[in-house]
């Protein structure tokens, strides 16, 4: 991590809104619909270039790709790991259940978005099987930042934590939340050190 003694270096949480065209392509892909992979690649690259430029214009020192090539910040591991299928049946959070007007507004906002309440669940041993998408995402970000001036002081790539994955994509295999989280952590760690 870089250190600055002249000013505080700025960054952000990691996930930035995707353009509607890219979001729709990613959601359709996530639902198993046929999409044109060349159009998806073109839209993802345009979106990454856009968020890189906007971060630099805003003065962000430590930037990323905004997770543009991912369907969502917490459910993308289902594409990169085996062992997921079906649908999680998450309980309705109390704040949403107690406020049906908010629930309706949230449902409208999430319409056409990534699966959250019905995300895939762990139905078998989770195993990180393919680094291809992660490598491609990193390479795309590198290409998009290579030509920009000024450049980020540092850059980063996000990863969903095992706890977030386990909260969104529930367990229907391990029988124990702790065992499920440990299995996710083992797989995420194994690939982060590869």
Q: What is the pLDDT of residue 171?
A: 97
Q: Are 70 and 43 in contact (CB under 8 A)?
A: no
Mean pLDDT, rounded, for 39-61: 96
Count H helices, E strands: the chain?
Answer: 8, 4
Compute, in degrees rounded to 10, the torsion defined by CA atoms 167, 106, 44, 14.
-50
CATH number belonging to the domain at 20-192, selected among 3.40.630.10, 3.90.550.10, 3.30.70.1060, 3.20.20.210? 3.20.20.210
pLDDT for 91 beyond 90 = no
Render pLDDT for 143-184 as a digit per residue (tens, 0 to 9): 999 887 889 999 999 999 999 999 999 999 999 999 999 999
Helix (H, G, I), strand (E, B) or coil at 140: helix
Q: What is the pLDDT of residue 123?
A: 98
The answer, yes or no, to whether residue 111 has pLDDT greater than 80, is no
Pull the structure tokens for residue 101. 């007007």
C-beta of residue 162 within 8 angstroms of C-beta of residue 104: no
Secondary structure (3-state) at 127:
strand
What integer pLDDT is reported at residue 193 of this predicted model? 55
Q: Give the closest residue to 54 by CA, choosing from 2, 24, 17, 1.
A: 17
| Coil vs helix vs strand at 4 | coil
- Looking at 111-161, list the stretches that DSSP marks H as alpha helix, in order from N- to C-terminal side: 132-146
Q: Give the model's confidence band at 120: pLDDT under 50 very low, under 70 low, under 90 confident, else very high.
A: very high
How do the domains of the chain map onto residue ranges?
20-192
């Amino acid at each position: 991590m870089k250190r600055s003694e002249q000013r505080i270096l700025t960054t952000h949480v990691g996930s930035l809104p995707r353009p509607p065209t890219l979001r729709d392509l990613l959601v359709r892909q996530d639902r198993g619909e046929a999409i044109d992979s060349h159009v998806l690649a073109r839209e993802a690259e345009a979106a990454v270039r856009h968020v890189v430029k906007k971060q630099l214009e805003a003065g962000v020192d430590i930037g990323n790709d905004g997770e543009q090539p991912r369907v969502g910040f917490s459910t993308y591991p289902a594409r990169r790991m085996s062992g997921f299928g079906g649908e999680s049946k998450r309980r309705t959070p109390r704040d949403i259940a107690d406020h049906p007007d908010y629930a309706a507004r949230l449902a409208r906002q999430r319409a056409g978005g990534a699966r959250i309440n019905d995300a895939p669940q762990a139905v078998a041993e989770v195993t990180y099987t393919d680094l291809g998408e992660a490598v491609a995402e990193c390479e795309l970000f590198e290409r998009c930042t290579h030509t920009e001036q000024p450049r980020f002081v540092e850059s980063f790539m996000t990863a969903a934590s095992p706890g977030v994955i386990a909260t969104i994509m529930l367990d229907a295999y391990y029988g124990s939340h702790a065992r499920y989280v440990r299995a996710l952590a083992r797989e995420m760690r194994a690939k982060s050190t590869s």
